Structure 1
Amino acid sequence: MTNHDSNGGAAVKHRHRHEGPQKHVVAFIFSIALTLIAFAAVAAGGVNTAFTVLILLVMAVLQVLVQLGYWMHLKDKGHMIPIIFMAGGFFVAATAVVAALYWMWW
């Protein structure tokens, strides 16, 4: 039995591409690796403090991108509006932090 479209022709079935657990396992391992790198940077006592802070900031940004992309599914199609609103929120928060720092020091 075949499906027919309104023109009498055979309808093409479009299968929804199911994302298997492989990508989630890779994202989970990547998240764990980022966390371990951050812990190792702090645990290594002889490392320069500025370098440790830089490593922690880089690991935090990467961790946020992995979390938003894979666990919050923002990498999928149709999620542009939440991405735009989050970018706007980050912009407002960054502007508030810069304004507060400016206000305190000048």
Structure 2
Amino acid sequence: MANQHSTTEEQGKRHRHEGPQKHIVAFIFSIVLTVIAFALVAAGEINESFIYIMLLAMAVLQVFIQMSFWMHMKDRGHLFAIVAILFGVFVVLTIVVMAEFWTWW
């Protein structure tokens, strides 16, 4: 009769379950970034350039958090998805830059 029970080493090689701890931390970090963004905009007396830079930085952080923890892009086997997303970002940035040049001329 074949051994139906696998060892913990074999289970660890197949799939490692992270547990909810990292998701809870990522969720709290996302909420904190959102609250900071709302507070910056609601303050009103802060320099507009500083607000735009901070909002952009927090948006980039938010994207990395969403991609790595909620969409599991940090795990193995997601190379095609990552390349597709990066290509999409490249296409969108190219379109935005070309639209800017088109409106300037």
TM-score, normalization: structure 2? Answer: 0.87
Judging by fraction of residues, say which structure has more helix.
2
Q: Where does structure 1 differ by over 4 angstroms across 4 or more consecutive aligned residues?
A: none
CA RMSD of aligned residues (A): 2.0
Percent identity between the two aligned chains = 58
- 1:1-45 per-residue CA deviation (whole Å, 9 max, x = no partner) reads 984xxxxxxx86511321100000000000001101101111112
Structure 2: tracts of 5 or more residues without a match: none
Where in structure 1 are there 5+ consecutive unaligned residues? Answer: 4-10
Q: Which has the larger radius of gyration?
A: 1
Counting only pairs closer than 5 Å after superposition, residues 41-80 of structure 1 correspond to structure 2 as 41-80=40-79
Secondary structure of 1:74 counterpart: coil
Alpha-carbon displacement from aligned partner over 1:39-92 (angstroms, at most 9, x marks no partner): 111111210011111111111111111111111110111101100001001001
